[in-house]
């Protein structure tokens, strides 16, 4: 498959941000003569091996001189996808009384190849800082060099759409129309959250696209703001008699700057074709019960909005807690290193407590916190509304909203009168365990699941039993 991944080697790597973010413009300013400030780290998705994924150092000081002059080398001019210059803007040769100018940063290369995340591609408009040297000398000092940096341009420029595209292959996830299911576009990145949502045992793959020249606003680390043009996809596959059956792919897209400028739609894979492709996978805004013969319902558009509309970030599984110590290479450390977050946090954030308590809090954060949070009051009585979305500033178990709004708080549900939501040290007598262990009118979560999650129940029970009564 052609989807990209972070390739991390101590994060001194072929990198994510250097492919399609212009988050390091401040690194590419005019530098002192000879030193050559680091060139802009932006690069187009390209194949082949580029130095640090297009990250290049500006033209160095003039080399050993001779006669006066200012010849300069153009770094990586218009190279096709694949090859990339080692340095965007090689040092100028020349000397005499006027040292050569720094080389121009390599111009943008066309997209090509299927590199690992951040690998390849010439730097986009990288700057070069040159130097003026003394005649006939190798010099590292002198006047400031010229900057070759240009404005960041998103050549891909995926269209903004506020209505569901007719087929899944038109959402931007795949390389071409009617692509095979695994033919993922090279500008799309696969990620895995630390605490995945339970979906009746589905095998899920998650993908994201962040437009070039953008960053995620993490000034509020609890509620990220995604740039216009952001796209997310989640694919659901189920095992049936040792055969994998692809059932649906959900698509979320921010098409405008407004708080509600989000598109939510699910696409059903056609079970009646011998060779399913993205080109015959259609949107199902009204949902599908027991889709493709599986005991799994594809949600309606309204259900998608209900789950994702209760938090301002709209995206629930791509966040500070989900991308810390998570599988895969799309992590808080990598995003921070590549300047794709406005506020970096390379160490990330983990739930407080022991590993058992972290597992329980993390499970509730993902599976319950989408609805039970500070933005939605679900209680009809004076009791505090249950809140299970973790916040980075709550650094002990006892200060989490999960603890303060659940532990020893009587339930408001008349079917469970006299029972506390959570009884510390006693999972068997906690309402939350009863609700998780059933399916029907009182089940939790109330949507998107028809089967009990035994592993999740075990995690939450262990968490409750770990609490001091």
Q: What is the DSSP string of 286-340?
A: T-BTTGGGSS-PBPPHHHHHHHHTTSTT--SSSSTTTTSS-SSS--HHHHHHTT-
Residue 394's pLDDT band, with cuts at 50, 70 and 90, is very high
pLDDT on residue 90? 35
Identify any residues that bridge with 235 across adjacent strands, giving them in sequence order: 205, 249
**Mean pLDDT, rounded, for 404-429:** 90
Residue 453, both tokens: 């999650």
Residue 351, both tokens: 């739930």
pLDDT on residue 442? 74
Distance CA 313, CA 335 (A): 17
pLDDT on residue 230? 98
- Asked if residue 164 has pLDDT above 60, the reply is yes
Residue 370's pLDDT band, with cuts at 50, 70 and 90, is confident
| pLDDT tens track for 228-259 | 999 999 999 999 888 899 999 999 999 999 99
- Asked if residue 340 has pLDDT above 60, the reply is yes
pLDDT on residue 226? 98
Lowest mean pLDDT among 123-137, 233-247, 400-414: 123-137
Residues 428 and 420: beta-carbon distance below 8 Å: no
Sorted by sequence, the CB contacts under 8 Å of residue 307 that are 6+ apart come out as 299, 316, 370, 371, 447, 448
| pLDDT tens track for 170-195 | 999 999 887 888 899 999 999 999 99
pLDDT on residue 275? 81
Neighbour tally for 441: CB within 10 Å:
7
pTM of the model: 0.70
Lowest mean pLDDT among 214-223, 265-274, 325-334: 265-274
Residue 149's pLDDT band, with cuts at 50, 70 and 90, is low
- Asked if residue 137 has pLDDT above 70, the reply is no
Q: Which residues of 365-385 are buried (b: 16+ CB within 10 A; e: fewer)?
A: bbbbbbbbbeeeeeeeeeeeb
Higher pLDDT, 310 or 139: 310
Mean pLDDT of the chain: 74
Distance CA 135, CA 269 (A): 70
pLDDT on residue 390? 97
- Asked if residue 128 has pLDDT above 60, the reply is no
- Asked if residue 358 has pLDDT above 70, the reply is yes
Q: Looking only at Cα atoms, what is the longest distance across the chain?
A: 94
Higher pLDDT, 127 or 461: 461
């Amino acid at each position: 498959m052609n989807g990209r991944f972070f390739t991390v080697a101590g994060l001194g790597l072929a990198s994510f941000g250097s492919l399609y973010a212009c988050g390091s413009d401040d690194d590419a300013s005019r530098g002192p003569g000879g030193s050559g400030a680091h060139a802009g780290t932006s690069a187009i998705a390209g194949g082949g091996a580029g130095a640090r994924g297009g990250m290049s150092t500006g033209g160095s000081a003039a080399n050993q001189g001779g006669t006066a002059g200012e010849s300069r080398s153009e770094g990586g001019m218009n190279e096709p996808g694949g090859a990339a210059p080692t340095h965007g803007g090689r040092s100028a040769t020349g000397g005499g009384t006027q040292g050569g100018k720094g080389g121009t940063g390599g111009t943008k290369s066309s997209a090509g190849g299927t590199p690992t995340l951040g690998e390849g591609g010439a730097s986009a408009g990288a700057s070069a800082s040159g130097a003026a040297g003394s005649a006939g000398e190798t010099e590292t000092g002198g006047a400031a060099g010229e900057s070759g940096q240009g404005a960041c341009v998103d050549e891909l420029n995926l269209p903004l759409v506020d209505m569901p595209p007719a087929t899944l292959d038109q959402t931007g996830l795949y390389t071409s129309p009617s692509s095979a299911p695994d033919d993922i576009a090279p500008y799309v990145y696969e990620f895995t959250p630390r605490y995945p949502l339970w979906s009746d045992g589905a095998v899920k793959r998650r993908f994201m696209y962040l437009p070039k020249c953008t960053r995620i606003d993490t000034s509020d680390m609890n509620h990220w703001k995604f740039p216009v043009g952001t796209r997310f996809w989640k694919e659901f596959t189920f095992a049936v008699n040792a055969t994998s059956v692809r059932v649906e792919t959900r698509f979320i897209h921010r098409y405008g700057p407004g708080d509600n400028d989000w598109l939510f739609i699910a696409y059903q894979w056609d079970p009646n074709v011998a060779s399913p492709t993205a080109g015959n996978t259609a949107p199902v805004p009204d949902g599908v019960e027991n889709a493709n013969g599986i005991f799994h319902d594809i949600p309606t558009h309204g259900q998608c909005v209900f789950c994702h509309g209760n938090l301002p970030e709209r995206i629930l599984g791509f966040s500070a807690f989900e991308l810390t110590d998570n599988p895969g290479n799309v992590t808080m450390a990598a995003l921070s290193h590549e300047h794709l977050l406005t506020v970096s946090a390379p160490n990330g954030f983990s739930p407080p407590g022991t590993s058992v308590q972290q597992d329980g809090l993390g499970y509730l954060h993902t599976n319950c916190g989408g609805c039970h949070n500070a933005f939605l009051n679900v209680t009809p009585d004076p009791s505090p509304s249950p809140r299970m979305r973790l916040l980075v500033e709550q650094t002990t178990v006892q200060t989490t909203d999960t603890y303060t709004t659940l532990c020893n708080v009587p339930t408001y549900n008349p079917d469970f009168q006299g029972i506390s939501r959570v009884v510390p040290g006693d999972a068997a007598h906690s309402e939350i365990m009863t609700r998780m262990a059933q399916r029907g009118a009182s089940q939790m979560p109330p949507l998107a699941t028809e089967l009990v999650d035994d592993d999740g129940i075990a995690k939450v029970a262990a968490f409750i039993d770990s609490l001091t009564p």
